[in-house]
Amino acid sequence: RPTVRAMSGHETDLSRPPLMQHQREALGTIGRFLESDKHFSMSVKGMISTGKTRLLADVAIEIARSGRQAIPLTPNRRLAWAASQRDGIECNSIYQHLYDIGGAEEQSGKVDGATKTIPLRPCEDSDDCVYLVDDAHLLGNALFQTPDGKQFGTGYLLADLFAFTGLGT
């Protein structure tokens, strides 16, 4: 069987195409942002299929090279799976990361007892980790309960994210 090996001696990922010029410029801007202590959040915006998720893969690699933990998240499992298949990014859905989905569901304090609350889990992420939220425009902070009566945390996803990360304090 033929094998593929890098000829230059540098680490090469042949599964992803090289970054385009606009993506390399964005990567440089993100790198400078990560070195700064002035701000705690940044948004990368662009039209669909402009390479934002592809860029996220290289951002995660650069964060890891700097010795920090990159935590790529997506709004749901389907998007996490797509990012891992298409761009080679190991993602979790934000729900998998924030909530104790595998644990026992606890009854909420509702009088009718029909709503089951899936609790926010304790944050065990490193203090200097970087959360990378792909497709963040799909996240909301409106009260959300599933049709079968489940509620994740307080029911307010962004409020739970800020509480989990400590960014809301």
Tell if the pTM clears 0.75, that is, is over it.
yes
Query: Which is nearest to 166 in space by CA: 118, 119, 131?
Result: 131
Q: Do 86 and 15 meet the contact criterion of CB atoms below 8 Å apart?
A: no
Residue 37 is classified by DSSP as S
pLDDT for residue 98: 96
Q: At what angle do helices 21-35 and 52-65 cross, to 10 degrees?
A: 40
- Name the band, by pLDDT with cuts 50, 70 and 90, for residue 123: very high
Q: Are 63 and 129 in contact (CB under 8 A)?
A: no
Q: How far is residue 115's CA from residue 147's CA, in Å, rounded to a whole number?
A: 10
CA 70, CA 106: separation in Å to the nearest integer?
31
Instruction: Give the model's pLDDT for residue 21.
Output: 93
Task: Please list the alpha-helical segments (H only) found in 4-156.
Answer: 21-35, 52-65, 77-87, 94-98
Task: Look at residue 107 and tell me whether its pLDDT is greater than 60.
Answer: no
Residue 114: exposed, middle, or buried by beta-carbon count in 10 A (0-12, 13-18, 19+)? Answer: exposed
* Mean pLDDT for all residues in the chain: 84
Task: Pick 113 or 153 by higher pLDDT.
Answer: 153
User: Which of 55-64, 80-89, 119-128 shows the lowest mean pLDDT across its residues?
Assistant: 80-89
Average pLDDT, integer, range 122-139: 92
* Residue in 12, 82, 11 with CA at minimum distance from that of residue 52: 82
Dist. CA 90–CA 61, nearest whole Å: 11
Q: Is the dihedral of CA 102, 104, 108, 112 positive or negative?
A: positive
